[in-house]
Amino acid sequence: MKTQFLVLALALFAGPVMAQLPDAEEVPPGAMAPSDVDFMHTADAANFDQMTIGNRVASRTKNSGIRSLAENVVSSHKKADDALRLLAGVKHVDLDHHMTERGQAEADEIVRRDVNAERMYVDGLLRDSDELIALYEAARQDSPDPDIRTYADTMLPALRDHRRQAQDLLARAGEGDGD
């Protein structure tokens, strides 16, 4: 019954992301591999970082390309966050839903008037995308839990798309990152 409720809740709240995920298998509290718990905590913090920073940039920038990228990042990470929260419930993993120190520092920098917030955002997003892609690829490949592997595999296309969009913005500005 709990799994059926979870599937219904996932479908209603997480939309297209969860439509790609099969029924999650509930595990007893404390049964998750430590590496999977670490992954879930890291992904949770990254989602919160990206949503906060993206919202700040989107509300501040006049550049339509940057705004579009930030809105896309926020939307993707909101869906990922919704799916991860529901998955964490089935796996009995408590998520903190707090920003990282680095994320908080970047979010604070973005609102300063004496910085190039758009360039800072794109550069940070490229760095974060590389780190997140590596994290999610490792989870997809190495996790002993099939639900974690599926979650990671489902999120990877959005992470790669964010990176591509950021690279495209730099290339249009004549500042490609060489990749």
Angle among Cα 13, 14, 19 to the nearest 5 degrees reads 120
Q: Which two tokens stand for residue 152?
A: 């990671």
- The answer to whether the CB of 112 falls within 8 A of the CB of 101 is no
- What is the pLDDT at residue 6? 43
| Nearest-10 Cα torsion for 120, 56, 99, 132 | -50
Q: Which two tokens stand for residue 9?
A: 């809740």
List of the chain residues with pLDDT < 70: 1-22, 175-179
- What is the pLDDT at residue 24? 78
- The answer to whether the CB of 54 falls within 8 A of the CB of 70 is yes
- What is the pLDDT at residue 27? 74
- What is the pLDDT at residue 175? 60
DSSP 159-175: HHHHHHHHHHHHHHTT-
